[in-house]
């Protein structure tokens, strides 16, 4: 199984249930694993046979830095849906959305959700 990985993408967005999250915003990190057959582009060296990760980054950025969602589950779902519908060669993807600084008391590294979605056949 071949993959294109985009890791630790960093954005600033306004997602969350609390009013201050929607007003002040916070950092979000995103990891994406795109499952795509890379045999042909490995031979042809032609971008048309692969997925342009710069374009994928921009699509993810539009969602994370765009209209607010209440839940990071919804952010992850929107990213997966956008990637799957935007790239014909993409077979499936795993999307992880990380909130490094959620407004909850305690000591922790971060909170995150991770989803896996496949293209409908």
Which active-site residues does the annotation give?
99
Indicate the pairing of strand 92-99 with strand 111-118. Answer: antiparallel
Burial zone of 26 (CB within 10 Å; 0-12 exposed, 13-18 middle, 19+ buried): middle
* N- to C-terminal Cα separation, the chain: 18
Q: Cα separation of 4 and 106, whole Å? A: 35
**Quick check: 64 and 13 in contact, CB under 8 A?**
yes
CA distances from 33 to 3, 25, 66, 89 (A): 6, 26, 21, 14
């Amino acid at each position: 199984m071949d993959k294109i990985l985009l890791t630790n993408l960093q954005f600033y967005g306004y997602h969350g249930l609390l009013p201050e999250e929607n007003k002040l915003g916070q950092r979000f990190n995103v990891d994406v694993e795109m499952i795509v057959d890379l045999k042909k582009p490995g031979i042809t060296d032609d971008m048309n046979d692969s997925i342009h990760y710069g374009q994928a980054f921009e699509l993810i950025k539009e969602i994370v830095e765009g209209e607010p969602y209440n839940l990071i589950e919804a952010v992850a779902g929107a990213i997966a849906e956008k990637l799957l519908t935007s790239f014909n060669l993409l077979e499936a993807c795993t999307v992880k959305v990380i909130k490094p600084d959620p407004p909850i008391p305690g000591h922790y590294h971060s909170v995150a959700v991770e989803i896996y979605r496949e293209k409908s056949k």
